[in-house]
Amino acid sequence: MRIVVAGGAGFLGSHLCSALLAGGDHVVAVDNVSTGRHRNIAPLLDYPGFEFVQADITAAPVGVRGGVDAVANLASPASPPDYHRMPLETLAVGSRGTENTLQLAAQHGARYLLASTSEIYGDPLMHPQREDYWGNVNPIGPRSVYDEAKRYAEAVTMAHHRAYGDDVGIVRIFNTYGPRMRPADGRVVTSFITQALNGDPLTIYGDGSQTRSFCYVDDLVRGIDAMLRSMATGPVNLGNPREFTMLELAEQVLELTGSRSGIEFHPLPKDDPTRRRPDISRARDLLGWEPRIPLAEGLSRTIEYFRSQPVEVAAAARAVAGAQFEGGTVEPVHSVVV
């Protein structure tokens, strides 16, 4: 197939491009490189089946020429520091960007895949989270620019499906990690690894009892690819159902890096979810998908990648100290040595 990947220079997008090319597909990556990076797709430029279009999908029409068999929309800032820094751009890519890529797919009669997010569920009152749960989201809070952008993206995708019969699929992605993540992106795995390698205290928000479920990028991309080639509409949760507390994650990062860093506890950011774990029954039933790579193995691969980027990791030190808070760092409530 000839597949357009919006957000193709980003962390997830570039891994999806690599997997599609390896499977024999032709790929057109579209990205404005606001949070993506040219280096992510540099190894792909020599593939005869790969094209890169530097463009903003919020501007219509999307600048892709030639036939299109499928469109995978992964375009959006996805980490709190990024969408706090670009709130209006985040809302625009979730709304106009989704509308424009839907129109591109419709013009070609192409399959359309929307990469949505577990943030749809907000701070969930249901645990684990199933796709029929509507969520507990603050529509005007600091995280709302991302949460509501994705909720609208799902709504307009389903409206196109119902009104025009467009072939669409929606995946809700839970915490994913792996090589090509930016050390300064402010997400918990990258922040812990960066702090551990720099010998700085690991920053935990709250008391460390809040949970997340971490899916290695190779597993996640397998799920996206399966959804892209299916006839399922979804939404379908994609994530690892194994749940870890933030303290457990910090301790595992310290062990795998051999770091002597301590741990600092900071106040929990507003509207930060306290529990997050996907029910992946639908993914198993519809796609035959489930993750395979355990956390320790995935973290080891990611740490190895970060060790290969020492200058960037060192430069990220200040950015990841209190990175979840708008306006800079805050003083820790207390710290411990582990």
Amino acid at 154: E
The first and second tokens of residue 104, run together, are 């591109």
How many CA atoms are closer than 13 Å to the CA of 329, on its beta-carbon side?
Answer: 13
Question: Which residue in 112, 121, 146, 216 is the catalytic one?
Answer: 146
243 membership: H or E segment, kind and range: strand 243-245
* CA-CA-CA-CA torsion sign (320, 321, 322, 327): negative
C-beta atoms surrounding 274 within 10 Å: 12
How many CA atoms are closer than 13 Å to the CA of 226, on its beta-carbon side?
Answer: 21
C-beta atoms surrounding 85 within 10 Å: 15
Phi-psi region of 258 (alpha: psi -120 to 50; beta: other; left: phi over 0): left
112 is known as an active-site residue: no
Catalytic residue positions, numbered: 146
